[in-house]
Amino acid sequence: MMIDITLPDGTVKPFEKGVSAMDVAKSISEGLARNVLAAKFNDIIIDAHRPLETNGSLRLLTWNDTEGKQVFWHSSAHILAAAVEELYPGVKFGIGPAIENGFYYDIDFMQYAVNPNDFAKIEAKFLELAAQKSVFTRQDICKAEALDFFKKKDDGYKLELINELEDGTISLYESGDFTDLCRGPHIPDTSVIKAVKILSLAGAFWRGDEKRKQLTRLYAISFPKQKELADYLVLLEEAKKRDHRKLGKELELFMFSQPVGQGLPMWLPKGTALRERLENFLKRAQKKAGYQQVMTPHIGDVNLYRTSGHYEKYGKDSFQAINTPFEGEEFLLKPMNCPHHCEIYKLKPRSYKDLPLRYAEFGTVYRYEQSGELHGLTRVRGFTQDDAHIFCTPDQLKDEFKAVIDIILYIFKTLDFKDYTAQISLRDPNNTTKYIGSDENWEKSERAIIEAAAEKGLVTTTELGEAAFYGPKLDFMVKDAIGRKWQLGTVQVDYNLPERFELEYIGADNQKHRPVMIHRAPFGSMERFVAVLIEHTGGNFPLWLTPEQFIILPISEKYLDYAEKVKLELELQDCRGIIDERNEKTGRKIRDAELNKIPYMLIVGEKEEAEGTVSVRKRGEGDLGAMSVETFANRVNEEVRAMIE
C-alpha cells in the first residue's frame, strides 16, 4: 500500500506504507540523511526511523531546527545517565529533559559524594559511550512489564512515574546497555554527539516538593562539533560578565535580603529611578493610545480567583490564603490583575459606544515559586506587571490587537531590541482539558491572533500547547546582544473571563452582548524586563534611561564650588548626574567613571571655571573637547529625544 508524504515545499511524494522519515531523507540526498536527527510528522515529533503508516506532512529536523536541538539534548541526557550509572553503580534516576540550552538529569547519588571535580570523569565516559554509535531503540510495553523492569532495578522514582501513566502509553528507550522510561523521540544513534560539558550541579527536590528527597541535578550541554562547544563557552563567559545579579549589585540597582524574604526584590534609589523612567515611558505611550490608568489592591477575596479560574490553576503556586478574624473570610495575595479589572468594568452598565475600554496598571502580583527556582530578578515571588486589559467588541478585536503590537514594537525599537520573532501560542488540540471555554471561542481567538500577526508582517512561529489556560497568545521572543533568547511582551485574546464574570455591553441592536478581553504586558514584568535589559546592555543603559547621564570630575577641591554650579545648571535643563568629590587623581576618577558605566565625564579646573565651560569625555569615545554647559545640555537632550521619539 502506498501513502502520500507532503514535504515542506508543498511537494507530494508517494512512498510505501511503513517508510521512515530517514528513508524519505535518503531519497532526497545522503548528505541530508546524515544530518537528520528526528522528524515532525503531522505536527508530532517522532524518531527518524519510526514507520509512517498514513498520509501526512513531513518535516525533517536537523541541528538547525529548535526541535532538532531539543531531541539532540534529550538524547544526550540519556547518555549522561548511562555514563553516571557506569561510574556510580546503583544510583537512582529521576527525570532528564532537554531545556532551552542543553539538558539536565535529576539523580539520587545514594552513598556517592559528587562535586565539580568529578565532571571531567563523567564527560570522558559520556564521550566514550557516544562514540560507540549505539542506536536508540524504542519499545512500547504494558504497564506491568514496565513496573517489573524498574522493580528489578530498584528505582523507586521511575516506579512512581509509571504508576501515574495509563496502560498503553508507556515506552522504554534503549541505547547501549542503558534503558530508560521515556516517551522519546531520540536521535538515530549516539555518534552524532561530539562534545559535551557539564556546566553545574544543584539540589532539586523530587517532583518540586520540598518535603521530598533532594536529588542532585546535573546541568549540561552537548554539540555535534567541538568548535560549537568552544564558541558556547566563550558566550557563557560573556554572559557571566553581563549577569544582572552581578551588575545590579555593582551598579546599586536592587538587592535581596534574607530577613525580608527570598524572591522579594528591593529597589535601591538608582534602580527605582531607572524603573520609574521605564514606567513613565510606557505610560506616555499608553496615554497616546487611549489607555486609562487604574490601581487595584494587592489582595483579593479568594472567591474572586475562584470565579476567574486562577485559584484552580495557580492555587498551588500562590501564597497560602490569608484568614481574617471573621470566620470563613479568606483573601489571597493576588496572582493576577485581570480579575480586578473585570470588576472595574462591571462598575456600571456599558454601551458599545463606550468600547473599547483600555485599563492599564503597574500592578504587583505574587506567586510562591519554589526556592530552588528563584533566580535574581528573572524568577521572583513578588513582581510588577505592566498590565493592561482591553474590553472591546468582536469587530474591534483585530484592530485593538494590532495596536498593542505597535506599542510592543515601539518599545523594542527604543531599547534597541532588533532581533525578535513572534510566537503564536495555541492550545494543545490533544489535551483540551487544560483550558477553559468553548471550542468556538478558542477558534475565534486563535484566528484573530494569526490574522493580526500576518497583517503586521511579523515573523512568526507556532507552538501548540503554550496558550494560557483562558486563551491563545502572541509572545515576543527577543534575542539579546549576545544571542540569547528571552520572552518579552505578550498579548492574549480571551473570550472566557468575560463569560465567567458575566461582563456585558448593550449593542447597537439594543441587546446584551459579551465583550472580548485582550490581556497585554509589553514588558512582561518590570523585574524580568530590567534583568534582561541589564544583560542586553551589559549595564550600559541608553542615555535616556541610565541612572547618571554625567559625572563631574573636579581636578582638585578648589573647583568643587564650580562643579556644584555646573551640576545645578544641568539639572535645571533636565540632565541628571553627580560630582566625584574624592581627593583622587583625575585619571583614577575617569577610570572609575568608566567602570561605573557613566556615559559622560565632565572635567572642570581653572580654565573651565574661567571660561564657563566643561571638558567633555564620552565613555568609549574619549575626549570631545571643551564646550559650554548649555551646549552640553543641548547635546544630551537632543540625544535623548532622538532615542525615544
Catalytic residues: 338, 367, 385, 387, 389, 473, 519
Pairing of strands 512-513, 505-506: antiparallel
Cα 622 to Cα 626: distance, rounded to the nearest angstrom: 12
3-state secondary structure of 177: coil
How many residues in the chain? 645
Q: How far is CA 540 from CA 276, 346, 432, in A?
A: 18, 45, 45
Burial class (CB in 10 A: 0-12, 13-18, 19+), 483: exposed
Nearest to 262 by CA among 383, 378, 384, 374: 374
Q: How far apart are CA 518 and CA 397, in angstroms?
A: 8
Q: What is the DSSP letter of 379?
A: B
d(CA 458, CA 402): 11
**Whose CA is closest to 524, among 536, 516, 532?**
532
Letter for the amino acid at 81?
A
Residue 225 CB partners (closer than 8 Å, separation 6+): 194, 195
Q: Are 538 and 480 in contact (CB under 8 A)?
A: no
The residue among 398, 140, 149, 379 whose CA lies nearest residue 264 is 379
Q: Is there a contact between 210 and 370 (Cβ–Cβ < 8 Å)?
A: yes
**Burial class for 142, CB neighbours closer than 10 Å (0-12, 13-18, 19+):** exposed
Grid-cell match 500576518, residue found: 454
Only one residue has cell 514507520, namely 51
Single-letter code of the amino acid located at 549: Q
Measured between alpha carbons, how far is 103 from 434 in angstroms, rounded to an integer? 26
H helix runs in 189-251, sequence order: 226-242, 244-250
